[in-house]
Structure 1
Amino acid sequence: MKKIPSIPQAGMLLASLRSVGYTEEAAIADITDNSIAAGASEIHITFDWDNKIISIIDNGQGMAQDELYKNMQIGSANPNTARSEHDLGRFGIGMKTAAFSLGKKVTVVTSKDGYISNAAWDLNQVDDIGWNLLVSDDKKYDSFLQGLEKHGTAVIISTLDKIIDDTDPIKSKKYFYSVIRRVKNHLSLIFHRFISEDGLHIFINSNEPIKAWDPFVRSNPATQELADEEVWDPENKNVTYIQPYVLPHKTKFYSEESYKDAEGYKGGNRHQGIYLYRNRRLIIYGTWFDLIRKEPAFSLARIRIDISSSADADWKIDIKKSRASLPVYLRERVRSAVENCTTRSTKVFNSRGAYTKKSPYAPNLDFVWEQVRNNGNYTFKINKKHALLNAVRQQLDEKGRSQLSTYLALVEDFAPFMHNGIVNTVNTGTAKHDESQTVKNIADIKKYITVFTNLGFSKQEIQDTLLRMPSYEYLRDTIIRLVEETL
């Protein structure tokens, strides 16, 4: 078979990437992903009208020169390659495509171990230079890293032809500043979990960091946190977490201002729906994925769905990380959560605030333990839907919830009846663990190892504890291996 080289024209291909369909706020969010993935704790975004540039500067780990050149390649990552839970990228073209949707030139200046390097793409020159990066000997860009000499990265976008019309500077300036407002609102939502849980600071033309906007209004004690659910896909080894919330009635807010804030900057009706998170980064929100139509009575219903990057193909996550499709295997499970959540929302919406959190179908207060059957064996589990437990969880951040979950697993597995033979008397035989259950158990073990490690327990303590948990007896060799690999 004959092979004939067919290299695309650089100018035409790069110009076509500008038509992917980014909004300005989605483009800035995509570039911000790189800063978060680099471990940045501060990100400074500046819209400079006088110099007609936009800069995104972070104090992340930075890049060595060869790393920079690799990451500036168009398509620098394989979308099918497994990514870490901290990696927010996918196709390896997001930053470049996002930048091109704003302007014709993108320059990246980065410092690692005190060594500063730079590289740029310029669409005005690419026809002449082809697939070659521009590297400048001029030190003018180094000033963007002032105070970040050891490590950090600056993305500078110039020739902002997609935002600024040189023939109409008055309208362009008005539009330019409207973009700033939209970007602030957008990033406060998209990265709200990083801001509130990790202490990430994002500054936009200000010395004050933007505040996280929690769409689930968990700070209000009248918010209802409904029963959560974990759905395992044994074929693709993915887990999906579904957590529905029902916001309080207007009368349950402390002020008109707090109520308006809870509605969201697009209004309560547009903010109702499903919020899909990938590695804690919000991908899409305010949609019911065509399961139902939006109704005013559903405006208090918001459902959080968490997935990992390994589920990208299932959800058809696009380049912009702003579109997704509900997988078929999850459709009925999500539909059930939607129906329950919107029913509760309608009840609260029509109640004028005179409602109680207790459902007529809620279990009694003493329903702390429940007997469950799994793969032929009976055991006892803590009732994870108990109102008091949910109230405690609601007051915790993600780290606290993970620690609480780990502690409850210890309570379940080290309860006296798990070690004195009571449970075995009701079991009919040796349990058979299907593949999906094994995958879930291994994922839980990894989480417990992380929690125990962060709390300062020794390798031997962690291994001994896990090996004595009846739920994981059949995974003895796996436990030993995971502890060795992690510690």
Structure 2
Amino acid sequence: MALYENVTYDEYDIAEPKADSLIHSIRSFGYELSTAIADLIDNSITAKAKNVWVNFFWNGAASWIAIKDDGIGMTQKELIKAMTLGSKNPLLLRPANDLGRFGLGLKTATFSQCKQLTVGTKLKGENLVVRCWDLDYVSDCRQWRLLKQGSNNLEKEALEGLDQGTLVVWDKLDRVVDEEVKVDDDRAHGLFLEKASIVKKHLAMVFHRFLEGPNPLKIWFNDKLVSPWNPFLIDLKATELLTVEPLFINGKRIEVRPYVLPHHSKMSQEEHAYGAGTKGWNAHQGFYVYRNKRMLVAGDWLGLGFQKEEHYKLARIQIDIPNNLDQEWSIDVKKSKARPPQNIRQDLKRIAKLTRDRASNIYRHRGKIVSRTSGAEFIYLWQQSAKHGKISYKINREHPLVRECNNSIKGNQTLETLLKMLEETIPIPMILLNYSEQSDNIKGPFEDEPPKELNAVLENSLKALLNQGLMISDIKKRLIAMEPFDLYKEYVIARCEEFEEENK
């Protein structure tokens, strides 16, 4: 810096950017509508808002969007600063709860979607202050003219009833609706509502930790309260939290919490649909990076060399970082991308591998890898074998039902021939294709069958074990450690106890 201390005015030029060129250039930062609106809600949270209202208003080409909060509001000076491009230096120390970074979010997020931004704000006990950017006007005058009045829609969504707060209005939504579209265009209206629905789901995900717990933030979307979407399904009994690990970057702590979600056979249809989120199970695997509880990255392996594959889809890992590590994590302006620093990549790889391995085991074995509470060895009908490097699948000849059939027709090779044919003609390519394309639609054991179908199989299995000379207490243990009865334990236990009563 000392090199430039004594520079005089005739030794430099002011290279001021052209207003009309620059303000249109920043429209191309790559925001989606959902990430743009989330960026504005960051400001509401920083302003200590307890409520945020997001409203989409359809009016053809004149449609508009409003984001309102009951935060502390701003003075006129603070508003002008907030409306100025690059109003914050990302290198300066910020309060721990500040969710911003570059001082660009309000403007870049807005201009990525529309050409007119109006902000009205007031402190408690003060009057409303308004400022407006209109890109068409800036293009015409070619100056950074921040207007003192703006959208007529500001009055429609005014801060009436609020002692303090801020209202942001987006007009001229040229990136959201076509500029020629009519009010009665049902198709365009439907697309507008569809975009609104995507935004709502995104907010439920990105801000879920603010929407949960005591004294939560409330986000009202078109007057309906947004429910949080927690990707880790922490309320489900079968969700596993592996070892929580603290890691350190330049003396600053981050925390890694690996979760393995339950196999879909351990969830209700509603729980499984909830866990799929907006993009589906496969897309949502990976790391979830949070800064100050705000989700930045939703399901990504962070360039650590892992691919998103079907059998790892139950692995989701939470990473919490503070806001003073933005540079080390390469947080972008949109707050939608992050890359871990070099000195913790190996640790994250190790944690990811452990979590993926565990998730794969649960996925492949329907969640049965955990230790057996019954103490009985698990009995599979199918067994995997490898010979000369080739994998094949065999029916377990020691399975109680198979043994019973064998014993009842001793000397007859028909059963063995049938079993052999089944083993050699398994439609593996078809199964793999269906599982990769629509695994969630594959029926589980006796999932749609009436109780009598399950009962018939249970009765025959019970008799087969009795014929082997086992006591009813041992039979009960064997049955609940056997496919498919492990999925219907209460039913099996009740039938065994009933049988015991009948034969006293």
Q: TM-score, normalised by structure 2?
A: 0.68
Counting only pairs closer than 5 Å after superposition, residues 219-234 of structure 1 correspond to structure 2 as 219-233=235-249
Counting only pairs closer than 5 Å after superposition, residues 408-423 of structure 1 correspond to structure 2 as none
Q: Which among 207, 212, 236 is matched to residue 196 of structure 1?
A: 212
Instruction: Give the SS at the match of 1:268.
Output: coil
Q: Which moved more, 1:16-25 or 1:78-87?
A: 78-87
For the pair 1:216 / 2:227, whether they are aligned, the reply is no
Q: Which among 315, 336, 342 is matched to residue 328 of structure 1?
A: 342
Counting only pairs closer than 5 Å after superposition, residues 346-361 of structure 1 correspond to structure 2 as 346-356=360-370
Could you tell me how far apart the structure 1 residues matched to 2:153 and 2:364 are? 61
Cα gap change, 1:86 to 1:358, in 2 (>3 Å): farther
Instruction: Give the SS at the match of 2:259.
Output: strand
User: Residue type of the partner of 2:34?
Assistant: E
For the pair 1:276 / 2:293, whether they are aligned, the reply is no
Aligned to 2:137: 125
For the pair 1:6 / 2:19, whether they are aligned, the reply is no
Aligned to 1:82: 93
Q: What whole-Å deviation, never above 9, does each CA across 1:243-269 have from its counterpart, x for those lacking one? A: 10000111211x211111112121100
Cα gap change, 1:143 to 1:64, in 2 (>3 Å): farther
Aligned to 1:427: none
Aligned to 1:395: none
Instruction: Give the SS at the match of 2:333.
Output: coil
Instruction: Give the SS at the match of 2:178.
Output: coil
User: Residue type of the partner of 1:199?
Assistant: P
How far apart are 1:203 and its partner, in Å? 1.1
User: Residue type of the partner of 2:290?
Assistant: Y
Q: What whole-Å deviation, never above 9, does each CA across 1:197-240 have from its counterpart, x for those lacking one? A: 3411111113x21110000000001100000111112xx33211
Instruction: Give the SS at the match of 2:283.
Output: helix
Q: Which moved more, 1:126-135 or 1:97-106?
A: 126-135
Could you tell me how far apart the structure 1 residues matched to 2:222 and 2:151 are? 26
For the pair 1:266 / 2:282, whether they are aligned, the reply is no
Instruction: Give the SS at the match of 1:133.
Output: coil
Q: Which among 311, 319, 328 is matched to residue 305 of structure 1?
A: 319
Could you tell me how far apart the structure 2 residues matched to 1:133 and 1:216 are? 44
Counting only pairs closer than 5 Å after superposition, residues 41-440 of structure 1 correspond to structure 2 as 41-50=50-59, 51-114=62-125, 115-127=127-139, 128=141, 130-136=143-149, 141-169=154-182, 170=185, 171-197=187-213, 198-206=215-223, 208-233=224-249, 236-253=250-267, 255-291=268-304, 292-356=306-370
User: Residue type of the partner of 1:323?
Assistant: K
Could you tell me how far apart the structure 1 residues matched to 2:372 and 2:135 are? 61
Q: What whole-Å deviation, never above 9, does each CA across 1:155-180 have from its counterpart, x for those lacking one? A: 00000111111334434323211110
How far apart are 1:130 and its partner, in Å? 1.0
Could you tell me how far apart the structure 2 residues matched to 1:172 and 1:79 are? 39
User: Residue type of the partner of 1:118?
Assistant: V
Q: Which moved more, 1:109-118 or 1:301-310?
A: 109-118
Q: TM-score, normalised by structure 1?
A: 0.70
How far apart are 1:358 and its partner, in Å? 8.7
How far apart are 1:83 and its partner, in Å? 1.4
Could you tell me how far apart the structure 1 residues matched to 2:110 and 2:97 are? 22
- TM superposition outliers: structure 1 runs of 4+ over 4 Å: 137-140
Gaps of 5+ in 1: 360-487
Could you tell me how far apart the structure 2 residues matched to 1:137 and 1:314 are? 39
**Is the Cα–Cα contact under 8 Å of residues 20 and 142 in structure 2 kept in the other structure?**
no
**Is the Cα–Cα contact under 8 Å of residues 46 and 99 in structure 2 kept in the other structure?**
yes
Gaps of 5+ in 2: 1-6, 374-504
Q: What whole-Å deviation, never above 9, does each CA across 1:293-313 have from its counterpart, x for those lacking one? A: 111111000000010111100
How far apart are 1:143 and its partner, in Å? 4.8
Q: Which moved more, 1:149-158 or 1:196-205?
A: 196-205
Could you tell me how far apart the structure 2 residues matched to 1:112 and 1:286 are? 39
User: Residue type of the partner of 2:100?
Assistant: G
Q: What whole-Å deviation, never above 9, does each CA across 1:436-459 have from its counterpart, x for those lacking one? A: xxxxxxxxxxxxxxxxxxxxxxxx
How far apart are 1:8 and its partner, in Å? 0.7
**Is the Cα–Cα contact under 8 Å of residues 159 and 166 in structure 2 kept in the other structure?**
no
Cα gap change, 1:18 to 1:326, in 2 (>3 Å): same
Could you tell me how far apart the structure 2 residues matched to 1:94 and 1:137 are? 20
Coordinate RMSD, CA, aligned: 1.8
How far apart are 1:92 and its partner, in Å? 0.3
How far apart are 1:11 and its partner, in Å? 1.1
How far apart are 1:46 and its partner, in Å? 0.6
Cα gap change, 1:314 to 1:187, in 2 (>3 Å): same
Could you tell me how far apart the structure 1 residues matched to 2:67 and 2:288 are? 26
For the pair 1:20 / 2:29, whether they are aligned, the reply is yes
User: Residue type of the partner of 1:333?
Assistant: D
**Is the Cα–Cα contact under 8 Å of residues 59 and 148 in structure 1 kept in the other structure?**
no
**Is the Cα–Cα contact under 8 Å of residues 151 and 171 in structure 2 kept in the other structure?**
no
Aligned to 2:42: 33
How many residue pairs were aligned?
A: 355
Could you tell me how far apart the structure 2 residues matched to 1:278 and 1:5 are? 37
User: Residue type of the partner of 2:300?
Assistant: T
How far apart are 1:326 and its partner, in Å? 1.8
